[in-house]
Structure 1
Amino acid sequence: MGKDKGVKRRHAGLADQLMQEDRVKPLKRAKPSQRKQEKNDSDFVEGKLSVRILDQARQQQDELEEEFGLCVSNKKKHRALLSGSSEADAAAISDDEDQDSTNEDDFYEHLEINEEDEKVLESFMPQEMTERKTLADAIMEKIRDKETELASHLSEISIVRGHSIDERVVHVYKGVGQILANYRSGKLPKAFKFIPSLANWEEVLHLTDPDKWTAASMYQGTRIFASNLNGKMAQRFYNLVLLPRIRDDIAEYKKLNPHLYMALKKALFKPAAFFKGILLPLCESGTCTLREAVIIGSVLSKTSIPVLHSAAALLKIAEMDYSGANSIFMRILLDKKYALPFRVVDAVVYHFLRFVGDSRTLPVLWHQCFLTFVQRYKLDISADQKEALLDVLKAHTHEKITPEIRREIVNSTSRSRKDDKVTMET
């Protein structure tokens, strides 16, 4: 049979194929420059940049961090871009960091104290409030003391008097203070980073007027001073500059600025200076509010602290006069479950034994701290101490917490006297 002419041939000619309506349209060829750009973009996205370019980028980033002290959010965003992330991913990283920096809200937004507890806590507050010293007051007091001390040595007076600073230096650091008063992010003046290396760093720091620094400036300043000052000098910076600013911010806004919260976390890189410059002065003042205690305590609970520093702080707080803030700090340190020396455990025991003859009604915070202590360290308490603590429970009771404390004390083994002798010999 012949071929059916009505059936379309399987392979049409080239001319017929070109005339068909469903022919494939030719693609536009990219220009060489465009192909090169697409290749570079794909390499960037896939992470196939040359080692030399990546090393150069990281080197530039490290130089920027060292020279200008870029803020944490910019640094993370820059790293995200270098690793191939999009702008949206970098922005998400920045948002996640801001959200993490403000997570202290979980600790104090639900803190509610009824009127009865407020009256009870007020009975433990000191009647005479001590005045808080600012950096300016401390510097002027120091200058006056030095001038009086060295009045017989006229040749050395010019070294310590504030007006002996070169006027050019005064002009420079007053300009630095104006920059810090408006700083949000980015580069910092190089002159600001030289302050920790100066012998009269407190007087020079006073020229920048720290009371007018922005919260971001305070964070950057804490980073610089915590890294470059020794323990005693960092302690003075924490006590005279950082602590007053934190207390003022909490008093005004009822919460802490995220930059100041990160500054507190950065200050804990020198734990001894943090405890001596912030925590212990705050407890000794007797004016620490519960909100301040919970916010600063949240920093302690989220940061790893060496056991010796925490044990020393717990020992000091246990020996102080009681206040509600002290109970919060003690409870947070006890909840870290350190292997505390017996001397510290004994100090906490005697802290609670002092209330046997106290006729005042104790707040719930005291009972909660008591319960935390016996839960964590019931095996480190001697039998005699447990009997004395049971007498405390007879004098001060709470309908829900006291039965739990008694159960923990009664149903636990006691520290042996042999352990006591070992600790006394060591």
Structure 2
Amino acid sequence: MGKITVSETKGKQRHNPLLKDISSISGDLKTTSKSKKSKKVEKEEPDFLDAKTSRKILQLAKEQQGEIEEEEGIVEESRPSFLESFKNVESEEEDEDEDDEQYSDFEEEEELFEEEIEVNEQDAEMFEKYFASSNNDGFGGSINLADKIMAKIQEKEIMKQQPERQVEGVRLPPKVIAAYEKIGQILASYRHGKLPKLFKVLPSLKNWEDVLYVTNPEKWTPHAVYEATKLFVSNLQANDAQRFIENVLLERFRACIEDTEDHSVNYHIYRALKKSLYKPGAFFKGFLFPLVDSHCSVREATIAASVLTKVSIPALHSSAALAQLAERDFNPATTVFIRVLIEKKYALPYQTLDALVFYFMRFRKAGGEHQESMMEQDDDEEINKSLPPLPVVWHKAFLAFAQRYKNDITDDQRDFLLETVRQRFHHSIGPEIRRELLAGTPRIQSEPVKDAVMINAF
């Protein structure tokens, strides 16, 4: 038997579909869909019951309820009516309100009880610090002015209660002293590199002198002295820089010369002196004048004066310093500084020039005694022997003044200076001073003083 191909079966069907066969036979089966049938049923059902059927349902329910009550032995008269049940509900609500009021009263009593509790001071401080930090977090908190004042008072009381450490008259918190003692140990072995940040902050502190004393500047290395001088002189005002130069730099300068065998100064200390001239007024008041007033040796004066020769100084500062030095008592160290400042060849005001003229005139014999002696004896050597000799430094300073300012003195001043040369004659320097004074053209004595610069004393 051969196989049926697809082409043969395509054209004709083997049998009728089942739906057609069922519909051709008479029966109860309908061809409508279930959804349509359900819709029709829903439409046929009424939305509500009529009064008759509802009365029957209620009657049946009542009879069933009565039978149940008879079985359980419940008397119908003992059951509360609807009004009574409503009243009971209201009474229950009133009881609940009374309970709420009692609970609220209990809360109030509890709050009063909490207010009367004594809180520990430490716990209260912790509580206040916590809420103060939470207010400052930026979440809408605000601080009252009274709270700030009370907080400041509490901080002061706490600082008073904390034990402060005292180091030879310096009263600072113990943490500050411990930190800067370590800084002092670092500076005691410092050679190169950056300074500690805690040390760089010192010029900005109000009590920087007390904190600086803790670091023990006497044990600093010369390298640290140089770096500290740069830091303090550049960042402090002139008055504060003067105190640093006098208390630190001057002491280290003198100690360095005394401790060395050849009485020389360390290279870094010498560089620190140069840096201190960044503020000339602080240098003169904090280093030069205290050095001169404290029995300065010629060696110290020579080393310090060499710094002045290598650094440029404003003319007004140098003229004021000359005027101050000329008013001091005679000292070879003072004369060294006068000579160095004169040799800088600044245009000095007449006020300073007059002070220098009176300084050199101070060393001659004044009055009639000198005139009588001049009439009796004409030998300058005998006059010179009657007066105590002066060091060569003084004669060199006199010569430098005559060479530079011979045209800025009056005729009277030149005559007095020539007389001083005659009395304080030096065999090699005296003739040069006399020649310079005679070669000059003196200024007119009646010249207006308005060109002179009035210098205030330091």
**TM-score, reference length from structure 1:** 0.61
Amino acid at match of 2:194: K
Aligned counterpart, 1:20: none
2:236 & 2:316 partners in 1: Cα distance?
Answer: 21
1:220 to 1:425, Cα distance in 2 relative to 1, 3 A: closer
Aligned counterpart, 2:281: 272
Which of residues 416, 435, 439 is equivalent to 1:407? Answer: 435
Aligned counterpart, 2:267: 258
1:164 to 1:327, Cα distance in 2 relative to 1, 3 A: closer
Tell me which of the two structures has the higher relative contact order, counting C-alpha pairs closer than 8 angstroms and 6 or more residues apart.
1
1:421 & 1:231 partners in 2: Cα distance?
Answer: 30
Residue 417 of structure 1: SS of its match in structure 2? coil
Count residues in correspondence. Answer: 270
1:357 aligns with 2:365: yes
Aligned counterpart, 2:297: 289
Residue 242 of structure 2: SS of its match in structure 1? helix
1:390 aligns with 2:418: yes
Aligned ranges 1:17-166 → 2 under 5 Å = 164-166=171-173
Which of residues 195, 215, 225 is equivalent to 2:202? Answer: 195
Cα-to-partner distance string for 1:2-47 (whole Å, 9 max, x where unaligned): xxxxxxxxxxxxxxxxxxxxxxxxxxxxxxxxxxxxxxxxxxxxxx
Aligned counterpart, 2:245: 238
Residue 264 of structure 1: SS of its match in structure 2? helix
Once the two structures are aligned, what percentage of the paired residues are identical? 49
Which of residues 328, 331, 341 is equivalent to 2:339? Answer: 331
Aligned counterpart, 1:303: 311
Contact preservation (8 Å) 2:421, 2:430? yes
1:204 to 1:425, Cα distance in 2 relative to 1, 3 A: closer
Amino acid at match of 2:240: M
2:245 & 2:270 partners in 1: Cα distance?
Answer: 13
Aligned counterpart, 2:395: 367
Amino acid at match of 1:218: V
Cα-to-partner distance string for 1:181-210 (whole Å, 9 max, x where unaligned): 010111211000111111111110000000
Q: State the shift of 1:357 in Å.
A: 2.6
Q: State the shift of 1:395 in Å.
A: 1.1
1:420 to 1:280, Cα distance in 2 relative to 1, 3 A: farther
Structure 2: which 5+ residue stretches go unaligned? 1-159, 367-386
2:392 & 2:429 partners in 1: Cα distance?
Answer: 9
1:425 to 1:291, Cα distance in 2 relative to 1, 3 A: closer
Amino acid at match of 1:268: L
Contact preservation (8 Å) 2:406, 2:437? yes
1:180 & 1:340 partners in 2: Cα distance?
Answer: 43
1:376 aligns with 2:384: no
Cα-to-partner distance string for 1:242-278 (whole Å, 9 max, x where unaligned): 1011011012221111100110000000100000000
2:249 & 2:227 partners in 1: Cα distance?
Answer: 12
1:196 & 1:420 partners in 2: Cα distance?
Answer: 46
Residue 268 of structure 2: SS of its match in structure 1? helix
Q: State the shift of 1:373 in Å.
A: 0.3
List 4+ stretches of structure 1 deviating above 6 A.
none
Q: State the shift of 1:164 in Å.
A: 4.2
Residue 326 of structure 1: SS of its match in structure 2? helix
Residue 418 of structure 1: SS of its match in structure 2? coil
1:185 aligns with 2:213: no
Residue 407 of structure 2: SS of its match in structure 1? helix
**TM-score, reference length from structure 2:** 0.57
2:355 & 2:246 partners in 1: Cα distance?
Answer: 26
1:259 & 1:345 partners in 2: Cα distance?
Answer: 36
Aligned counterpart, 2:39: none
Aligned ranges 1:221-232 → 2 under 5 Å = 221-232=228-239
Amino acid at match of 2:247: L
1:421 to 1:246, Cα distance in 2 relative to 1, 3 A: closer
Cα-to-partner distance string for 1:106-156 (whole Å, 9 max, x where unaligned): xxxxxxxxxxxxxxxxxxxxxxxxxxxxxxxxxxxxxxxxxxxxxxxx9xx
1:425 to 1:164, Cα distance in 2 relative to 1, 3 A: closer
Q: State the shift of 1:166 in Å.
A: 1.4
1:223 & 1:425 partners in 2: Cα distance?
Answer: 32
1:323 & 1:357 partners in 2: Cα distance?
Answer: 19
1:346 & 1:363 partners in 2: Cα distance?
Answer: 23
1:425 & 1:302 partners in 2: Cα distance?
Answer: 25
1:210 aligns with 2:217: yes
Q: State the shift of 1:423 in Å.
A: 4.8
Cα-to-partner distance string for 1:352-406 (whole Å, 9 max, x where unaligned): 0110139321111111100000100000011000000111112111001000000
Q: State the shift of 1:419 in Å.
A: 2.3
2:336 & 2:351 partners in 1: Cα distance?
Answer: 21
Aligned counterpart, 1:25: none
1:168 aligns with 2:196: no
Cα-to-partner distance string for 1:39-60 (whole Å, 9 max, x where unaligned): xxxxxxxxxxxxxxxxxxxxxx
Amino acid at match of 1:259: H
